[in-house]
Amino acid sequence: MTRQFGMCAAAAFTCIAVMSMSAARAQTAAPVGSPQSEVAAVQTVIEGLMEALNAADVERFSRFFAPDATMFFPLAPLFLRLENKDQITKVFTVFFESVRRGKTGPQYMNLVPQDLRIQIWGSTAVVTFHFRGPDLVSRRTLVLRRDAGKWLIVHMHASGIEVSRE
């Protein structure tokens, strides 16, 4: 009985592995407009945003935001919502200047999103992830809107939680 169970379990595992590999292949060849291609398009936006953030490149960074974008910035003294792309750009101009100070670059930071999740409903996407440091978990939520085939960030919420070093 135990031997039969082991053989059945091995067969089931093999079937699941084959189905998973087939599904992964199907996702890479998704037609334009399909849920998989939309996820890939949003993923490309997030990758570009992260490259601009790590390079402290405000011009490139701002291109990912819609004119009416809003944001909650994670650092004091900005406790209130930023109301548009211009305000977001001004804040990140100052922030990036402080990041670049005394460093050689253009890779000034090395922020890598962890546990990235992309959810899409029609022309709206929500992206969540975090960065983990020794004392802080920095959480991010981005809301994107697809206008004329282009995904842009319409809201970004950034917050951090202090964690113990245990």
Encoded tokens for 17: 């592995």
Encoded tokens for 44: 């490309």
The 10 Å Cβ neighbour count of residue 41 is 19
pLDDT digits (tens, 9 = 90+) for 7-46: 333 333 333 333 333 333 333 344 556 689 999 999 999 9
pLDDT digits (tens, 9 = 90+) for 53-101: 999 999 999 999 999 999 998 887 777 899 999 999 999 999 999 999 9
pTM (2 d.p.): 0.77
Residue 159 reports pLDDT greater than 80? yes
Is the Cβ–Cβ distance between 48 and 58 less than 8 Å?
no
Is the Cβ–Cβ distance between 86 and 104 less than 8 Å?
no
